[in-house]
């Protein structure tokens, strides 16, 4: 049996105790209705804490770390909600790696997202490769793209 992991580290730069509490509450247990709607729209659901380690910093930032289980979608939607709620104008980004403890084809990849003014832009490495192959009109693994 193979074990699949999603790993990342990030800081959410909340600036006040009120902002920090808002984000921490949503990362731990209370997502708020707009995040639940956003996740449902994506076919996702809310389950437990968003990362293996969620740590409030003394400067009000929030440190996230995951070596095994990371709810990327939830973290990103929480950051988008925080930006909208507090009118944050600073862009935020996050990158992650999807890995496996066995050498399995297709078990490695990752992604990145940037959140700006509550809007999210995503990049998934697998989709990027497929889209580039399609643009080039080339075949990958015997499957014709195009």
Percentage of residues of the chain with pLDDT beyond 90:
45
111 beta partners:
96, 124
Q: What is residue 102's predicted lDDT score, i.e. its pLDDT? A: 84
**pLDDT score for 1:** 81
User: Any residues with CB less than 8 A from the CB of 129 and at least 6 apart, and which?
Assistant: 140
Q: What is the pLDDT of residue 145?
A: 47
State which H helix or E strand residue 129 sits in.
Answer: helix 125-136
pLDDT tens for each residue of 67-82: 777 888 889 999 999 9
């Amino acid at each position: 049996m193979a074990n699949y992991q999603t790993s990342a580290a990030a800081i959410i730069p909340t600036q006040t105790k009120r902002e920090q509490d808002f984000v921490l509450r949503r990362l731990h247990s209370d997502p708020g209705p707009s995040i639940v709607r956003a996740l449902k729209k994506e076919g996702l659901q809310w389950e437990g804490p968003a990362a293996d380690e969620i740590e409030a910093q003394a400067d009000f930032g929030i440190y996230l770390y995951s070596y095994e289980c990371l709810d990327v979608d939830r973290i990103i939607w929480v950051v988008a909600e925080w930006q909208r709620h507090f009118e944050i104008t600073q862009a935020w980004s996050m990158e992650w790696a999807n890995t496996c403890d066995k050498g399995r084809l297709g078990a490695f990849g990752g992604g990145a997202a940037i959140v700006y003014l509550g809007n999210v832009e995503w990049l998934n490495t697998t989709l990027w490769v497929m889209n580039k192959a399609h643009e080039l009109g080339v075949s990958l693994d015997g499957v014709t793209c195009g």
